[in-house]
Amino acid sequence: MLQNEISEGFDGKKLRRVIAASSVGTLIEWYDFYIFGSLSVIIATKFFPSDNPTAAFLSTLATFAAGFVVRPFGALFFGRLGDLLGRKYTFLVTLLIMGFSTFAIGLIPSYSSIGFLAPILVLTLRLLQGLALGGEYGGAATYVAEHAEPNKRGLRTAWIQTTASLGLFISLLVILATKKSMSLEAFNDWGWRIPFLISIVMVGISYFIRKNMDESPLFAQAKQEGKIVANPLKESFGKKLNFKFVLLALFGATMGQGVVWYTGQFYALSFLQKVANIEFEQSNYIIAISLAAGTGFFIFFGWLSDKIGRKGIMLAGMLIAICTYRPIYQAMYELADVSLKTEKANSRQVHTDYHMIDGTVTLSKVTRTIYTYTDGTQLLEEKTEKVSHLPSIQREKAMLKKTIHVGQHAFWMLILLVFIQVLYVTMVYGPIAAFLVEMFPTAIRYTSMSLPYHIGNGIFGGLLPAVATYLAAKANTANEVAAAAGQSLPYAKPYLEGLWYPIIIGGVCFVIGLLYINGKDREIND
């Protein structure tokens, strides 16, 4: 078979170059994509006109979702190109689009300078990022798999699988390093642009590495033999023979993988910051250390899938994840819950500041109270209220903001709990590129595997923060209504309600995968 001939004639050095060129480019694309999400709060204040920071944040979340929703369209557009023109040229184009969009976001003047043009430009560039990402992954996975030895396809493509987590890890590191190198005011003013701007250097290097690579041997041969199909979209989605596998890949694998991926990385970060109130820097360190510790397991599970099969590992990861999410998140919540801690005697510090609110006769009174606990945890409580002789202002509710810096023990325990979730991610995600590649024939592989991957991750996974936040907010509201009416609370742990989304989606995916996936097909030269 061609695949065996290719692998036997292939030198290890060339294969390593193929993997490196594909992985580095994909990693940069993920980095580009994630810095926007990580900096969404600052971007909201710069580009989205609103006096209410929550409304501004929601606008950015909408943009974030838009970035995810367009990914499947990118998969269709670039997947088609990849099956018609070749893998190499297509993923060169996606790399350039991504690099240009990210760099340009870093250059856009704020809303206060150019008005509504600013959010429109940001939204447009964000959509371009989503399109580019939609075309990138399928190309890189296909390119590596079509070069790899048949018995090491899981191991080789697992390098591509590390890139999403590494991209997130590097984006967090760059943001933390930039933040540390300047004052908070400077970072909020202009420093946030640096992570966007430096992307152009990384993309430039990656472009030149990729440019010198050869086309995939399987695709080149298919082209030489005239086996390229004229309409990959029609072939993939218009014929039952292929479309049924697109649906199976989505509902039996990528849908569950997507929610496990986003729960273990994004939802964990959001939960630490918004539910557990852990400060920005410490919560990012928790995620970054867990990702760094867990990334090697992508390679391990990719390698293991070559030995014992892909289906068992992916489904086991999904099942363990959905069975343990609630206890894990309960433990995370308790580690930051100051009501379970003992306050140190005589340690409370209180500072009060008054500021005149411009153009009014009203004072802003800010009371900062620092509570220190015996395990080293510190809680900063910031109460902002207006002081005025006007009754309407006196009636305004005070704003209360809590920020927690957990002690060493809780910090490392949180890392362990997030690390366990990252392990689940590596189980479901490590083998999936090889699994998807093996599901579809060469002529329509790029198109067919890209769409279920990006629907599973972009739509089912990408909307997880919004849906989970909605479920948790709904439970909180129900509790508030019941408390006001003097009834017993319907939700004992409203902060865990958001987890029903990944548990239900992951559960359905597990059953479909278990029933319908044939774990024995390893042939790609068809």
Partner 1 sequence: MNNIRRIAGAVWILLGIAAAYFLIVEQAIPLFAKGDMESLVPAIIYTFILSPIITGGMCVFGLYALQNEYEL
Give 255 or 299: the residue with its C-beta nearer to partner 1: 255
Give 190 or 516: the residue with its C-beta nearer to partner 1: 516
Q: Are 430 and 396 in contact (CB under 8 A)?
A: no
Give 61 or 220: the residue with its C-beta nearer to partner 1: 61
Q: Which residues, in sequence order, are CB contacts of 315 under 8 Å at separation 6+?
A: 510, 513, 514
d(CA 31, CA 367): 39
d(CA 195, CA 498): 31
Binding mask 428-467 for partner 1 (x = CB under 8 A): ---------------------------x---x---x--x-
Residue with token string 């910090």: 411
Q: Tell me if 387 contacts partner 1 by CB under 8 A.
A: no
Q: Tell me if 248 contacts partner 1 by CB under 8 A.
A: yes
Q: Tell me if 518 contacts partner 1 by CB under 8 A.
A: yes
Q: Tell me if 43 contacts partner 1 by CB under 8 A.
A: no
Q: Tell me if 228 contacts partner 1 by CB under 8 A.
A: no
Q: Are 366 and 392 in contact (CB under 8 A)?
A: no
Scanning 131-139, 256-264, 333-341, 506-514 for contacts with partner 1 by CB under 8 A, the matching segment is 506-514
Shortest Å distance, C-beta 66 to partner 1: 8
Q: Tell me if 201 contacts partner 1 by CB under 8 A.
A: no
Q: Tell me if 482 contacts partner 1 by CB under 8 A.
A: no
Shortest Å distance, C-beta 261 to partner 1: 18
Q: What is the largest CA-CA distance in the chain?
A: 87
The backbone torsions φ and ψ at residue 98, rounded to the nearest 5 degrees and listed phi first, read -65, -45
Scanning 18-26, 186-194, 245-253, 263-271 for contacts with partner 1 by CB under 8 A, the matching segment is 245-253
Cα(first)–Cα(last) distance of the chain, in Å? 10
Shortest Å distance, C-beta 273 to partner 1: 21
Shortest Å distance, C-beta 244 to partner 1: 5
Scanning 114-122, 214-222, 241-249, 304-312 for contacts with partner 1 by CB under 8 A, the matching segment is 241-249
Give 309 or 407: the residue with its C-beta nearer to partner 1: 309
Q: Which of 115, 112, 96 is nearest to 104 (CA)?
A: 96
Helix 40-47 vs helix 117-145: angle between axes, to the nearest 10 degrees?
150
- Per-residue exposure over 99-112, b if at least 16 CB sit within 10 Å of its own CB, e if not: bbbbbbbbebeebe
Residue with token string 């992985």: 23
Token readout for 364 is 């802003």
Q: What angle do CA 122, 127, 133 make, to 5 degrees?
A: 125
Q: Are strands 399-405 and 363-372 parallel, antiparallel or unpaired?
A: unpaired
Shortest Å distance, C-beta 243 to partner 1: 8
Scanning 12-20, 277-285, 485-493, 504-512 for contacts with partner 1 by CB under 8 A, the matching segment is 504-512
Give 250 or 287: the residue with its C-beta nearer to partner 1: 250
Residue with token string 């024939």: 441
Q: Tell me if 55 contacts partner 1 by CB under 8 A.
A: yes
Contact positions with partner 1 (CB under 8 A) in 144-183? none
Helices (H), 347-444: 391-394, 408-429, 432-439
Give 262 or 419: the residue with its C-beta nearer to partner 1: 262
Shortest Å distance, C-beta 491 to partner 1: 17
Q: Which of 244, 307, 401, 402 binds partner 1 (CB under 8 A)?
A: 244
Give 247 or 483: the residue with its C-beta nearer to partner 1: 247
Name the β-bridge partners of 386: 364
Give 74 or 167: the residue with its C-beta nearer to partner 1: 74
Give 197 or 511: the residue with its C-beta nearer to partner 1: 511
Q: Which of 6, 324, 333, 282 is nearest to 145 (CA)?
A: 6
Give 380 or 466: the residue with its C-beta nearer to partner 1: 466
Q: Are 156 and 306 in contact (CB under 8 A)?
A: no
d(CA 345, CA 362): 36
Q: Tell me if 315 contacts partner 1 by CB under 8 A.
A: no
What is the arrangement of strands in the sheet containing 349-356, beginning at the earlier edge strand?
Answer: 349-356, 363-372, 378-387, 399-405
- Per-residue exposure over 148-165, b if at least 16 CB sit within 10 Å of its own CB, e if not: bbbebbbbbbbbbbbbbb
Q: Tell me if 127 contacts partner 1 by CB under 8 A.
A: no
Q: Which of 39, 44, 69, 404 binds partner 1 (CB under 8 A)?
A: 69
Q: Which of 239, 516, 523, 526 binds partner 1 (CB under 8 A)?
A: 516
d(CA 56, CA 119): 11
Q: Tell me if 471 contacts partner 1 by CB under 8 A.
A: no
Helix 153-180 vs helix 296-308: angle between axes, to the nearest 10 degrees?
170
Q: Which of 19, 39, 250, 524 binds partner 1 (CB under 8 A)?
A: 250
Shortest Å distance, C-beta 516 to partner 1: 5
Q: Which of 1, 201, 247, 308 binds partner 1 (CB under 8 A)?
A: 247
The DSSP call for residue 513 is H
Q: Are 404 and 277 in contact (CB under 8 A)?
A: yes
Shortest Å distance, C-beta 62 to partner 1: 4
Name the β-bridge partners of 349: 370
- Total residues interacting with partner 1, rule: CB under 8 A: 23
d(CA 382, CA 184): 18
Scanning 82-90, 146-154, 360-368, 515-523 for contacts with partner 1 by CB under 8 A, the matching segment is 515-523
- Which residues of this protein are in contact with partner 1, per CB under 8 A? 55, 58-59, 62, 65, 69, 240, 243-244, 247-248, 250-251, 455, 459, 463, 466, 508, 511-512, 515-516, 518
